[in-house]
Structure 1
Amino acid sequence: MTATAAREPRAELRTLRLCTGVVGASTLAATVATSFVVTQPDRLGTPTSPWVLTAIAILLPLLAAGSAPWSDLPTLRWLNALVVVEYGVLLLVLALAAASGRVSDGEVPWVLTFTAAPVAAALVAWGRRAAWLVLLAATAAIQLLRVLVGHDTLSALASDVQAFFASLALVLLFGTLVAASRDFDRSTRVAYARASHRSAEDARAGVRRRLQALVHDELLATLVLAARDAPALRTAVAAQAARTRRLLRDLHEPEAAARVPVDDLVRQVRDTAAQECPAARVGLIDSRRTGSAAASVGLDVAEALTGALRQALVNSRTHAGPQATISVEMAISDDDVRIRVADDGVGFDPARVSPRRMGISTSIVGRVRGVPGGEARVESRPGSGTRVTLAWTRGRPAEEPAAPAVDTGILPAEDRRVRTGILVTIAVFWAAQAVLAGIAGAAAGDPAVAGLAIVGVGAAFLAIGWRSLARPTPARAWVVVAIVVATTALSLVPIPRDEHRYGDTWYVAACGFVLLALAVRGRPGVAVLGGLVAVVLSLSGAYLWPNDVADVLASTTRHLVILAIGVLLVLGTARTQARTTALRAEELAAVRAQVFREAAARELRERSRALEEVIGRMLERLESGAELTEHERRECAALDGRLRDQYRGGRISRPPMIEAAMAARRRGVDVVLLDDASDRVLSETELDAIAHWLASRLDAVPEGRFTGRILPHGRDGLASAVTGDEVAELPRTP
């Protein structure tokens, strides 16, 4: 199983869990409030008690909500599908009982008019289209049931209108969240794939840099000395060859989990400094906490840091000047290791260092950057000394965390489709409230309060601002709350009320929808404060006008339930988004680390074995310490050139050029291959043509020097071959 397959993104699953939990909690809160706070006469003469119907109706939504945090996606969909089926069965049973005359004149149990639960469950189970179908079907079934039981009053109309728009709002909000989570999952899969690809490329590049450093520091030095075959150097050559063979064997089966205690790394740094530059001052800054996680580093990290340190000290000792002072400062903390090598010698201009020189680019910078979390830089100026900084940081953050927007609530700020859907819903909602206002005003004989209420609801919605879905300013949010409070205060106005007629205070519940919109637009705190003030005002109206207590309590309960849905949704969404984003960053880091380890291990095995096939026998011969033949000395020189070709020749170093260069060096030809035109993109066909052309030119050179080079971008030809004073170019094929 690949790293990406093992880490399937789960933003959609977490969002559906949130939706299921919000619906379950809202259903329970609304049921408790309606059953124990709102006093309504129960006149439904069914053989089964309404309490039993209520318990059955809320059982599955609560079960689904309670098990949602631990449910996988198929289980979650099945649970929500059962919620929809249960609701449909209850409606069907009640409708059959009413049609057969087994139900006397009475009300429909409130829990069956709360269509938000089955509608949201349908969205989780089957998607947005199914949710719309369930909403329409449930609304039609409720109206049919009311006709059958003879309960088509203003109270029923107000309740059904509010329930319909609560369900409609949930479909819009949940649908938007689910769609956004699916987009997030898709982008996460792309991010995982990109991270895997890039991590594998980084791993392969890192391995190449490590091997380049090994070739530069060990192999080339061994072969150059062996080609001289001086008796005084044979012991040193044998020791170096043995060390190089051991390093190559270790690379065959890299121990990814091997660790080096940081205290051992400190000792290695001190020992390296003492060996390469005994006069260097060595300092240590240890800021680790006792028992911290930085008790060890990877073996590859330790080797890269000490290897780069050794090369930096060699360079300072060789080039800084006899009077230069060299210092080594090491700093370790819980999360990083830093080594700084500084001298006050003659310095140099880094821009003028030839790309053929591999001491800095390969043995220092490339070596440290070849391990995850590694970084290195070399700073120098003529006359100002040189400073080399080697650093490794634990758990460098993965790229592309894709954090969610923080200032737009739970809605996409600039999504025109979502914005249009919300505006259409608000317009239809306001029109429905206008119908309620007209009916309530006509029934009360005083249309003034109803007229002011419908104006207040419309003004509050408009005050939120809908040019975009970004979070409204605090001033605008407080203006909305002020309009809502003023509208709710109309419940204090003395108008003719009928204790048996519910729906006179329909605008209290309507204001709950305004505050719901404010909450999901990113102002839940302001919405809650406004909602509490509105509740206090409406309850004060119930105290002042006792004959309207049931109506006010019913409207206030709907107001609270609607607001609670919005606040729960906003808070739950914020938590889910934060957790999902954090997990994505962690998963990306894990994917990168796992792919890096796997790709690095494969690359190390393949390249180290290929390297041993080329030079293994010669290293074994050199390890013996015996005198070399003339042929063997020439072979050492040829191998030295071949290895240099691989790292300086780049794309030129391919068959048949490799064989031609080896043969030429055995003849005594000094061969230099250069690929310093990295900005020039060439096809495989062109590269093969260059290799064959250069090989044919080199085969004709009996002695002397030969330089083959890929020409930089902008030149007419593809490559050049220089032999003595003769320069030839390979033209580009039209």
Structure 2
Amino acid sequence: MTLESTPPIGSSLGGQNTDRITRMFAKFVSVGYLVYLVILSPSITLMAPRMDSWWTPVVVAMVFGSGLLPGVLAFRADLRLVRRAAAAAALLFVAAAASWPSAWNGPDLPTQDGVWLAAFPGLASLAAAVAWPASLAFTHLVAACVSVQLISTVARDGARLAMLLPEILFAIMFCTLFVGGAVMALRTGRLLDATTEEARAAAADAAAERARAVERERFDALTHDNVMSTLLAASRAQPQKHVRSLAAATLGELDGIHVGAGSDEPFALEQALAHLRAAAADADGHTAFIVIRDGGLQAVPAESVRALGSALAEAVRNSRIHAGAGVMRTVTVTVADAGMIIEAEDNGVGFDPAVVAPHRLGVAVSILGRMARLPGGSARIDTYPGSGTTVRLGWQRP
């Protein structure tokens, strides 16, 4: 199985759960309209002779046509069209009920029958829940239930006015069960999106802190291994030539640390490779590191080197933790004219990305998300249970 990162287009990574739930309810609403059209066909036919000739075909086309549209549009990328279509379906249902008195001619319907619009006011309010905030959706529900119960009372032969209020209250209560469920589902999606964004931000901060810790450790090691050695050599009256050589090497290392960790100056290629090698070694000291030179790349932007190093460290760290015992890990860096490709490969147990828990953000944030945000960056993960894992990181010069 393969995972790939692509830069976000016009939106952040958030909102996916709300969008998915909204599309699901839009499709559900449209299926409901289709089912009611089939079920209510006899009632529509029965009531048609009692209405003005224009009313039945116009209202059937208006109500059921608008009701089918959200589900069709739910397969499209732009969710705004889905919400607009759902809003139109909700409003046209109320408009159809409002137009009924002007087109009614009688005679009254049998007592056991009713106006076919009264069969599904809750479905129209579900469309309102897809399109609008909860307060407007429930306002629509009350308006729809009241209007259809009023016209049913007027249209039925022998209907008792005393039953009007109980019938309105029952209709509102019954429809609220479904509309309330939809509202809560959409609210849950929004909460989940907000929580996911917070978790991603926290994971990104943690990854940045780990990167800073790696740099601090490198600086501490340089201080111990080079600076202290130079001072010790000088204090023990070592030959001046030897002390001078140690001092020059130490100053060169310090300059490299300054340029790499605290500056926006581009990394020279050798500095970039050293940074990547250190990142991989910090995650797992037994990982083989191979460099293949297939171009004349001279320098890499500091931002790109740091992002590649952090993503590589996360990939190697994940492999060390999850790939199993006795696994061989190899990092191969291929340098080309316009960029570089890094492949972190192991022969471990692999995994199925589809079953990774949502709170496990190492792959989603620290690898795919980080590379998606990097100009010219890309990431791809090839893995399958039992077949090992290959993390492919790429950077192309803009």
TM-score, normalised via structure 1 length: 0.34
How far 1:23 sits from its partner (Å)? 0.8
Matched, 1:301 2:276: yes
Q: Secondary structure, in 3 states, of the residue corresponding to 1:372?
A: helix
> What is residue 119 of structure 1 aligned with on the other side?
125
Matched, 1:195 2:203: yes
* Residues 325-376 of structure 1: CA deviation (Å, up to 9, x unaligned): xxxx7679xxxxxxxxxxxxxxxxxxxxxxxxxxxxxxxxxx9999434559
How far 1:24 sits from its partner (Å)? 1.3
Q: Is the 8 A contact 1:23 1:65 kept in 2?
A: yes
- Candidates 26, 29, 33, aligned match of 1:23: 29
Cα distance change, pair 172–243 in 1 and its aligned pair in 2 (3 A): same
Task: Summarize the alignment of residues 494-573 of structure 1 with structure 2, pairs less than 5 Å apart.
Answer: none
Cα distance change, pair 189–306 in 1 and its aligned pair in 2 (3 A): closer
> What is residue 180 of structure 1 aligned with on the other side?
188
Once residues 80 and 139 of structure 2 are traced to their aligned partners in structure 1, the CA distance between those partners, rounded to angstroms, is 21
How far 1:191 sits from its partner (Å)? 1.7
Once residues 68 and 236 of structure 1 are traced to their aligned partners in structure 2, the CA distance between those partners, rounded to angstroms, is 70
- Candidates 76, 81, 97, aligned match of 1:91: 97
How far 1:94 sits from its partner (Å)? 1.2
> What is residue 389 of structure 2 aligned with on the other side?
none
Once residues 234 and 124 of structure 1 are traced to their aligned partners in structure 2, the CA distance between those partners, rounded to angstroms, is 75
Once residues 217 and 200 of structure 1 are traced to their aligned partners in structure 2, the CA distance between those partners, rounded to angstroms, is 26
How far 1:150 sits from its partner (Å)? 3.2
Matched, 1:240 2:246: no
> What is residue 552 of structure 1 aligned with on the other side?
none
> What is residue 41 of structure 1 aligned with on the other side?
46
The one-letter amino acid paired with 1:593 is: R
Amino-acid identity (%) = 19
- Candidates 211, 216, 227, aligned match of 2:224: 216
Task: Summarize the alignment of residues 78-477 of structure 1 with structure 2, pairs less than 5 Å apart.
Answer: 78-98=84-104, 102=105, 104-106=107-109, 110-111=116-117, 113-150=119-156, 167-225=175-233, 228-231=237-240, 233=242, 236-237=245-246, 240-241=249-250, 243-244=252-253, 247-248=256-257, 251=260, 252-253=263-264, 300-305=275-280, 371-373=313-315, 375=317
Cα distance change, pair 592–96 in 1 and its aligned pair in 2 (3 A): same
- Candidates 354, 362, 370, aligned match of 1:593: 370
Q: Secondary structure, in 3 states, of the residue corresponding to 2:314?
A: coil
Q: Is the 8 A contact 1:54 1:111 kept in 2?
A: no
How far 1:230 sits from its partner (Å)? 0.8
Once residues 9 and 587 of structure 1 are traced to their aligned partners in structure 2, the CA distance between those partners, rounded to angstroms, is 15
The one-letter amino acid paired with 1:230 is: P
Cα distance change, pair 68–586 in 1 and its aligned pair in 2 (3 A): farther
Q: Is the 8 A contact 2:97 2:117 kept in 1?
A: no
Once residues 215 and 123 of structure 2 are traced to their aligned partners in structure 1, the CA distance between those partners, rounded to angstroms, is 57
How far 1:92 sits from its partner (Å)? 0.9
Once residues 310 and 156 of structure 2 are traced to their aligned partners in structure 1, the CA distance between those partners, rounded to angstroms, is 82
* Residues 179-226 of structure 1: CA deviation (Å, up to 9, x unaligned): 322322332233233223323322222221222233334444344445
Cα distance change, pair 95–298 in 1 and its aligned pair in 2 (3 A): farther
Q: Which has the higher contact order (CA 8 A, sep 6+)?
A: 2
Q: Is the 8 A contact 1:196 1:591 kept in 2?
A: no
The one-letter amino acid paired with 2:182 is: F
Q: Is the 8 A contact 1:97 1:103 kept in 2?
A: no
Q: Is the 8 A contact 1:16 1:178 kept in 2?
A: yes
Q: Is the 8 A contact 1:45 1:103 kept in 2?
A: yes
Once residues 579 and 307 of structure 1 are traced to their aligned partners in structure 2, the CA distance between those partners, rounded to angstroms, is 25
Once residues 275 and 214 of structure 2 are traced to their aligned partners in structure 1, the CA distance between those partners, rounded to angstroms, is 11
**Greater Rg by CA:** 1
Q: Secondary structure, in 3 states, of the residue corresponding to 1:184?
A: helix
Once residues 145 and 234 of structure 1 are traced to their aligned partners in structure 2, the CA distance between those partners, rounded to angstroms, is 101
The one-letter amino acid paired with 2:370 is: A
Q: Secondary structure, in 3 states, of the residue corresponding to 2:71?
A: helix
Cα distance change, pair 161–22 in 1 and its aligned pair in 2 (3 A): farther
Q: Is the 8 A contact 2:125 2:179 kept in 1?
A: yes
Cα distance change, pair 212–152 in 1 and its aligned pair in 2 (3 A): farther
Cα distance change, pair 103–211 in 1 and its aligned pair in 2 (3 A): farther
How far 1:75 sits from its partner (Å)? 5.0
How far 1:113 sits from its partner (Å)? 3.0
* Residues 290-337 of structure 1: CA deviation (Å, up to 9, x unaligned): xxxxxxx9863323446899xx8xxxxxxxxxxxxxxxx7679xxxxx
Once residues 12 and 195 of structure 2 are traced to their aligned partners in structure 1, the CA distance between those partners, rounded to angstroms, is 17
How far 1:143 sits from its partner (Å)? 2.0
Once residues 39 and 231 of structure 1 are traced to their aligned partners in structure 2, the CA distance between those partners, rounded to angstroms, is 105
How far 1:71 sits from its partner (Å)? 6.0
CA RMSD in angstroms comes to: 5.2
Once residues 218 and 373 of structure 1 are traced to their aligned partners in structure 2, the CA distance between those partners, rounded to angstroms, is 30
Once residues 368 and 590 of structure 1 are traced to their aligned partners in structure 2, the CA distance between those partners, rounded to angstroms, is 8
Once residues 188 and 40 of structure 1 are traced to their aligned partners in structure 2, the CA distance between those partners, rounded to angstroms, is 51
TM-score, normalised via structure 2 length: 0.58
How far 1:587 sits from its partner (Å)? 5.0
